[in-house]
Structure 1
Amino acid sequence: MIQRIQSLFLLLAAIAGGFMGNFNLWKAKLTKGNVASEDYFNATSSYLIFIVLMVSTILALVTIFLYKKRKLQFRLTVLNIFLAIAVLLLIYFKVQDKANLLQSEGAVIVQATFLLPAFLPVVMVVCLFLAARGIYKDEKLIKSLDRLR
């Protein structure tokens, strides 16, 4: 189980998802009148992002232990890739909504930046893709060995 490289990639994807849930993803410096302030956005700011992120993280952890059912493991990993892409898109759109909301409240956004943890879904997608590729190679190897018998 752990000897397989795809198990390590799945574990890395789960760790990236877990870290993303704990850190701020976006920071904006605001001015409202003469008062300067900062506003942050994290995964817990939106229930939808948090739920999809946790489903993706838990699915990556569960998929590690499905090493005897490679077809199911492959399908769940591909599904998880789509979930990680969905998290990335949701973050982008929710941050845009938050920025529009702040501006509609009369705040002027002086500077807004995505922080480093906002790119962890990209790390998740890459790790999940590499895991899916390893699972596919294992399945192909097993099929070729079955043909030799």
Structure 2
Amino acid sequence: MIQRKQTLWLLLSAISSGLTFKFPFYSGVVAPGVTNVTGRELSAVDNIPLILLTAVITILSLATIFLFKDRSRQLLFCVLGVIGSIGLIALYWMYSRGFTTGNFALTALLSLLTVIGFFFAIGGIRKDQKLIKDLNRLR
């Protein structure tokens, strides 16, 4: 159901989460002896935990779009997506501590956009639940 607002927010979350595979979160000089980060840029393809968590969040947001008939499960998946996205940002933050000097990239906002998309999708799902509840009361 593409006409629902939460579908568009979930699609925004999926796209922004998918773009983190391509664009960096942090750029700088890696400290000597750090094994978790390769290269001068930190992105979702740098190590296995980042790859897995980003892929799970992307798949979760896409799968949640197709649960439009089961709003309670869709709401649960959105909450899991928010928790996973916040965990991903924390993981990025932890790995960015391995750099001696550097800056957060402008594309780090993509990770924040994923969380925002999930939050707005939760709001849309709650509005749908309230609307259905009000319609059932009118019958």
Higher helix residue share: 1
**Runs of 4+ with >6 A deviation:** none
Residue 107 (structure 2) aligns with: 117
Residue 88 (structure 2) aligns with: 87
Matched residue type, 2:5:
I
Once the two structures are TM-superposed, the CA of residue 84 in structure 1 deviates from its matched residue by 0.5
What stretches of structure 1 of length at least 5 have no aligned partner? 33-37, 100-108
Residue 146 (structure 1) aligns with: 136
Give, in whole Å, the separation in 1 of the partners of 2:70 and 2:103. 42
In the comparison of the two structures, how many residue pairs are matched? 133
Query: Percent of pairs identical after alignment?
Result: 37
Once the two structures are TM-superposed, the CA of residue 116 in structure 1 deviates from its matched residue by 1.6
Q: SS of the counterpart of 2:115?
A: helix
Residue 55 (structure 2) aligns with: 54
- Normalised TM-score (structure 1): 0.83
Q: Which protein shows a greater Rg?
A: 1
Residue 35 (structure 1) aligns with: none
- Structure 1 vs Structure 2 CA RMSD: 1.8
What stretches of structure 2 of length at least 5 have no aligned partner? 33-38
Please give the per-residue CA displacement for 1:68-99, whole angstroms capped at 9, x wherever unaligned.
11111011001101101001000000111x22
Residue 4 (structure 1) aligns with: 4
Give, in whole Å, the separation in 2 of the partners of 1:129 and 1:86. 15
Residue 22 (structure 1) aligns with: 22
Once the two structures are TM-superposed, the CA of residue 113 in structure 1 deviates from its matched residue by 0.5
